[in-house]
């Protein structure tokens, strides 16, 4: 398997759906360059028109799904600045950190009504163990609930408009025909929402769980969505999105960063809410050979905050490290809650490792460093 590396950033062609031009430049870099030709004032005017078109509830203008992260802060601040009244909804993560709780509580002080929904932790952890074993994702249930719970409130409270953050296909590079997409609907969720071919309806029999216990993971019916005119849009299509600047703004409003750069990353201001995130990102590395360190290096290159040579060196030293700890939580401690041992975890890791992009020995065994990290073969 021959892996190409973008000639401008450092993203590998092993990233799913990433397209390259004949000049060797990836779609993520091209999408970023296209932003300079956008009239953002016109985009903002279009956003205001969308708000007016979807106004239905007498008090709330939209729903904003929030995790308490830097981008949540930016979304809320921006919508409030435009003069609209959002209802903020949080789907609680499985392993919520103390810092994550602190930032959720502080976000409420921005001046918004807020609803927090926690799915049954016993069922959620059964799903987490199952999806870690079968699709290599410990956060599958959480990422599904992030989408389904706001949609349910949209229909039950008659608030049609849901404001999401960035369009990852635009920010990270994806199919060209999806780059200009402004809406997040069921079709987008199934293709790009990280469900990995699984459906919640598959889980009832497999896990011996009553269907009623999976209700919060179930998207409203098409009939309900159409009747309510539920529409999810990406704010990143209407404002010039920059995760780093979002963090700078959030900090001014009381957002608290971690004490140092996060394990598996080069920043201290994202993915602070869930202690399982390092495991989630590590499996991306095992499958595709890149992780959050690579993502941030690419974003910083495009915005002139790192040179490509600097990014290559950082990525070589910090990408793909074995997830022995995250934000002070040990791997053993995190796995214990889903009844998974470290030995089991290592076997699951090996089963999802893409042997076409990592070095193996003559016995077809993965070559590992002393700390358990793998060695890329590109």
The token pair that represents 6 in the structure block: 């973008």
Closest CA to 354 of 305, 308, 285: 285
Residue 125 confidence (pLDDT): 95
Mean pLDDT confidence for 131-145 = 95
pLDDT digits (tens, 9 = 90+) for 15-31: 998 999 999 999 999 99
pLDDT grade for 201, boundaries at 50, 70 and 90: confident
Q: What angle do CA 247, 248, 250 make, to 5 degrees?
A: 60
What stretches of the chain adopt beta strand conformation (E)?
Answer: 62-65, 86-91, 113-117, 161-164, 231-234, 325-326, 329-330
What's the pLDDT score for residue 41? 97
Q: Which of 72-76, 78-82, 200-204, 372-376 has the lowest mean pLDDT?
A: 200-204
86 within 8 A of 60, measured Cβ to Cβ? yes
Contact call for residues 330 and 322 (beta carbons, < 8 A): no
The number of angstroms, rounded, from the C-alpha of 17 to the middle of its chain's C-alpha atoms is 16
Q: What is the pLDDT of residue 193?
A: 52
- Model confidence band, residue 187 (pLDDT cutoffs 50, 70, 90): low
Ranking 136-145, 182-191, 236-245 by mean pLDDT, the lowest is 182-191
Neighbour-count burial of 43, counting CB atoms closer than 10 A to its CB (0-12 exposed, 13-18 middle, 19+ buried) = middle
Is the pLDDT at 186 greater than 90? The verdict is: no
| Phi, psi dihedral angles at 76 (to 5 degrees) | -65, -45
Tens digits of residue pLDDT in 249-296:
999 999 999 999 999 999 999 999 999 999 999 999 999 999 999 999
Residue 176 has pLDDT above 70, yes or no: no
DSSP 271: S
Q: Measured between alpha carbons, how far is 270 from 71 in angstroms, rounded to an integer?
A: 9
* Integer Rg of the chain from CA: 21
User: For 322-349, what is the mean pLDDT?
Assistant: 97
Report the alpha-carbon distance of residue 52 to residue 54 in Å, rounded. 6
When pLDDT is cut at 50, 70 and 90, the band that residue 314 belongs to is: very high
Cα separation of 364 and 378, whole Å? 17
What's the chain's average pLDDT?
92
The pLDDT assigned to 154 comes to 96
Question: Which of 38-52, 86-100, 165-179, 205-219 comes out lowest in average pLDDT?
Answer: 165-179
Indicate the range of 79-93, 177-191, 243-257, 263-277 predicted with least confidence: 177-191
- How would DSSP label each residue in 80-139? HHTT--EEEEEE--TTB-HHHHHHHHHHHTTT-EEEEE---HHHHHHHHHHHHHHHS-TT
Q: In whole angstroms, give the CA distance from residue 364 to residue 107.
A: 50
Predicted confidence at residue 199, as pLDDT, reads 81
Tokens 């399982």 -> residue: 276
SS3 349: helix
Task: Assess contact for 155 and 220: CB atoms under 8 A.
Answer: yes
d(CA 251, CA 300): 19
Q: Write down the pLDDT at residue 171.
A: 75
pLDDT tens column, 35-45 = 999 999 999 99
The confidence band for 163, taking pLDDT boundaries of 50, 70 and 90, is very high
Ranges in the chain annotated CATH 3.40.50: 39-237
Fold of 39-237: Rossmann fold (3.40.50)
pLDDT digits (tens, 9 = 90+) for 56-72: 899 999 999 999 999 99
CA atoms of 325 and 264, how far apart (whole Å): 10
Q: List pLDDT tens digits, range 294-312.
A: 999 999 999 999 999 999 9
Query: Using CA atoms, how far apart are residues 147 and 144, in angstroms rounded to an integer?
Result: 6
- Quick one: pLDDT at residue 172? 74
- pLDDT interval class at 183 (50, 70, 90): low
List the 231-234 sheet strands across, edge first: 113-117, 86-91, 62-65, 161-164, 231-234
Q: Give the alpha-carbon dihedral of 305, 308, 311, 317, to 10 degrees.
A: -160
For the chain, first and last CA: distance in Å?
Answer: 10
The pTM of the whole model exceeds 0.85: yes
């Amino acid at each position: 398997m021959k892996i190409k590396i973008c000639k401008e950033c450092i993203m590998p062609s092993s990233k799913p759906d990433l397209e390259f031009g004949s000049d060797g430049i990836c779609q993520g870099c091209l999408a970023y360059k296209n932003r300079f030709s956008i009239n953002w004032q016109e985009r903002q005017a279009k956003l205001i028109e969308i708000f007016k078109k979807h106004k239905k509830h007498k008090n709330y203008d939209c729903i904003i799904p929030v995790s308490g992260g830097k981008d949540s802060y930016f979304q809320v601040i921006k919508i409030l600045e435009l003069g609209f009244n959002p209802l903020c909804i949080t789907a609680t993560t499985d392993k919520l950190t103390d810092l994550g709780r602190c930032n959720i509580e502080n976000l409420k002080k921005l001046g918004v009504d807020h609803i927090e929904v926690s799915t049954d932790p016993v069922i959620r952890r059964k799903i987490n163990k199952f999806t870690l074993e079968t699709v290599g994702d410990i956060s599958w249930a959480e990422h599904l609930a992030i989408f389904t719970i706001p949609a349910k409130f949209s229909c039950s409270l008659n608030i049609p408009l849901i404001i999401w953050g960035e369009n990852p296909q635009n920010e990270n590079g994806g199919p060209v025909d999806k780059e200009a997409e402004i809406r997040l609907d069921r079709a987008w969720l199934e293709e790009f929402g990280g469900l990995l071919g699984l459906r919640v309806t598959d889980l009832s029999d497999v896990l011996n769980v009553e269907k009623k216990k999976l209700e919060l993971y179930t998207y409203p019916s098409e009939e309900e969505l159409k009747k309510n005119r539920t529409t999810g849009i990406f704010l990143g299509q209407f404002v010039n999105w920059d995760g780093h600047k979002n963090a700078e703004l959030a900090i001014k409003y009381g957002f608290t960063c971690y004490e140092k750069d996060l394990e598996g990353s080069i920043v201290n201001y994202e993915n602070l809410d869930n202690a399982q995130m390092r495991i989630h990102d590590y499996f991306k590395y095992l499958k595709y050979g890149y992780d959050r360190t690579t993502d941030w290096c690419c974003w910083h290159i495009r915005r002139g905050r790192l040179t490509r040579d600097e990014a290559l060196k950082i990525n070589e030293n910090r990408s793909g490290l074995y997830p022995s700890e995250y934000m002070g939580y040990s791997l053993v401690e995190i796995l214990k809650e889903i009844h998974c041992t470290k030995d089991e975890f290592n076997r699951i890791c090996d089963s999802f490792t893409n042997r076409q992009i990592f070095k193996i020995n003559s016995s077809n065994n993965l070559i590992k460093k002393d700390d358990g990290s793998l060695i890329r073969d590109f």
